[in-house]
Structure 1
Amino acid sequence: MKVLTVNIHKGFSFFNRNFVLPQLKTAVSETKADIVFLQEVIGEDLKKQEKYSDWPESSHYEFLADQIWPEYAYAKNAVFPEKHYGNAILSRYPIESSKQINVSTNRFEQRGFLYS
């Protein structure tokens, strides 16, 4: 079994210079991992969706999962009026259940664990 974990930095390059989610999709799929753990994955961002022409219509975890990982789980860690992001698990195997544990230490840094 191959497992991959990656912090996708909300789909952006170093210093948020470029939107690189399509390139990340290629790189992640080329690993042929059976299970992928994602950190800082966007579930929704209405402002950036309008700004970038190659922004996917689906959530970033659904975009990355595509046809390769038919099972996925997502949990929001940071929630704002126009966006939310968190952790996701993509899997070739059935995900029977998932749970998020909030491990935030203060209201300015929202953090969590996602397990399945």
Structure 2
Amino acid sequence: MPMSKIETLAKRPDFLRAARAGRAPAPAFLLQARKRQADEGVDPDLVRIGYTCSKKVGNAVARNRAKRRLREIARAVLPLEGRPGWDYVLIGKANDTAARPMGDMKQDLSRALQKVHR
């Protein structure tokens, strides 16, 4: 599969639309995914990804660490397995996102992507 161009979600409405769409739980995070509509004015070849961690994950230091880990697995997996025209949101989980080994998290993301694309 070709490498997809990846862009980061920044606007709240994009996160809210993803929250209403498909989801796939994984041990260390929750993946939300939605196929964008053609009329949204976004490059249809883009894969867009957002990251979020609530205060349940911990203080600012813990949330930032969790988001760094989520960004790292997305950087490794999404260019190969993300689908153009889709938006994804990774949501960190308290304790689990920081503790799970990175290799396992990458495999979890692959499985979660396969689930939402079914």
| TM-score relative to the length of structure 1 | 0.29
More strand by share: 1
More helix by share: 2
| TM-score relative to the length of structure 2 | 0.29
Q: Which has the higher contact order (CA 8 A, sep 6+)?
A: 2
